[in-house]
Amino acid sequence: MHNVDFAVRTITQVQSETTQINENIVESKSDYYKIIILTLKYYFGTTRWCKSTVTLNGRTVLITGGNIGIGKATAIDLANRGARVIIASRNKEKAIQTIKEINDKTGNDNVRFMYLDLMDLEIVRQFAEQFLNEEKRLDILINNSGIAGWAYKTIGSKTKQNYDIIFGVNHLGHFLLTYLLLDLLKKTRNSRVINVSSLRHLWRRSPLTYDKGPNNDGMLYPDLAGYDTSKLANVMHSKMLSKILQGTPVTANSVHPGLAATDILMAPLKSVLPEKLYSIVDPIFRFISLDSAGGAQTTKMQLLTNL
Ligand SMILES: NC(=O)c1ccc[n+]([C@@H]2O[C@H](COP(=O)([O-])OP(=O)(O)OC[C@H]3O[C@@H](n4cnc5c(N)ncnc54)[C@H](OP(=O)(O)O)[C@@H]3O)[C@@H](O)[C@H]2O)c1
């Protein structure tokens, strides 16, 4: 009996010690995760606010893709500063909804929608023609619209003129738009061009080759495909623009918004992950990244400084 008692007591003690050890492991593991998540939050998800109090009364801003995401947050802020804001978007319904929201939030009803689909260079030309006919000045051009790899699945691989869809929307459409509006930008004093690029421009490691194609798919300049290349093109475009604009009242810059939980990142995650997993990943991702307003800060900083 004595031996049995001793055996049971020993087992119980070992069990409780094991539980304690397991709890400690779980605790230290969860501490480990907490440290990783908080470090990620510090690097990616801490908003450095642009504190400029500049007002933009009398100035005209054109922003591509101002209907959702970072573009929308930028449009709200600039409207709040009194600017005339033109939202260039291919999605009239969402743009009108956004304009109503901007009117309600800021009291600024000098906000306009104009149809622009950067996938088709002919539409870009028509847009520029209409803009030049109807608008008297252009103080700030924000080339903000952007798509990433998910577009190959949801939209297709090529633009109307057979360029890679991502390169076409992110760079070529904006490139053409900027040049068509350049004279108006020059005429308007102290005007600015901002290309919303990405840190991902650094990921394009191989030299760009300008093989005209078409490849088997009929795509022109097939080597210039993909997000990283398009964002590198945004940076190169800004550098080249600022060179040729020296001595004029126009400046050109590119910015990286940071990691922001907008559709460009969240929509593919939502489609790819099982619902339950997405419901866990979504709040963690949103916690470690910026929101749209946070993503708009670098653009604001760039265009409002010394204006
Ligand atoms: N979020 C990030 O972490 C992050 C990081 C680095 C850089 N960026 C850059 O930031 C910019 C804004 O992205 P976001 O994060 O705000 O993404 P988003 O919420 O997905 O917004 C993208 C915008 O681009 C517009 N767009 C897409 N295709 C278009 C087309 N063919 N013609 C005209 N507009 C088109 C979209 O309008 P529709 O409603 O018509 O689709 C939308 O307004 C992009 O240039 C992106 O590359 C974002």
Provide the whole-model pTM: 0.91
Residue with the two structure tokens 């504190």: 51
Q: Which residues are catalytic?
A: 227
Verify whether ligand 1 is closer than 6 Å to residue 184 (CB atom): no
Q: What does the pLDDT read at residue 300? A: 97
Task: Establish whether residue 259 lines the binding site of ligand 1, counting it when its CB lies within 6 angstroms of any ligand atom.
Answer: yes
Strand partners, 113: 87
Mutate to test the pocket of ligand 1, among 94, 101, 123, 145 (most ligand atoms within 8 A of CB): 145
Does residue 120 carry a pLDDT above 90? yes
d(CA 249, CA 81): 22
pLDDT band at 6 (very low <50, low <70, confident <90, very high): low
Q: What's the whole-number average pLDDT of the chain?
A: 92
Tokens in use for 245?
A: 């604009």
Could you read off the pLDDT of 196-247 as tens digits, one per residue? 999 999 999 899 999 999 988 899 999 999 999 999 999 999 999 999 999 9
Judge if the beta carbon of residue 261 lies within 6 A of ligand 1: no
Residues in CB range of 290: below 8 A, 6 or more apart: 44, 45, 47, 257, 258, 259, 260, 261
Nearest to 98 by CA among 71, 131, 128: 71
At 27 the pLDDT is 62
In short, whether 145's Cβ falls inside 6 Å of ligand 1 is yes
* Alpha carbon of 221 to ligand 1 centroid (Å): 23
* 146-169 tens-digit pLDDT: 999 999 999 999 999 999 999 999
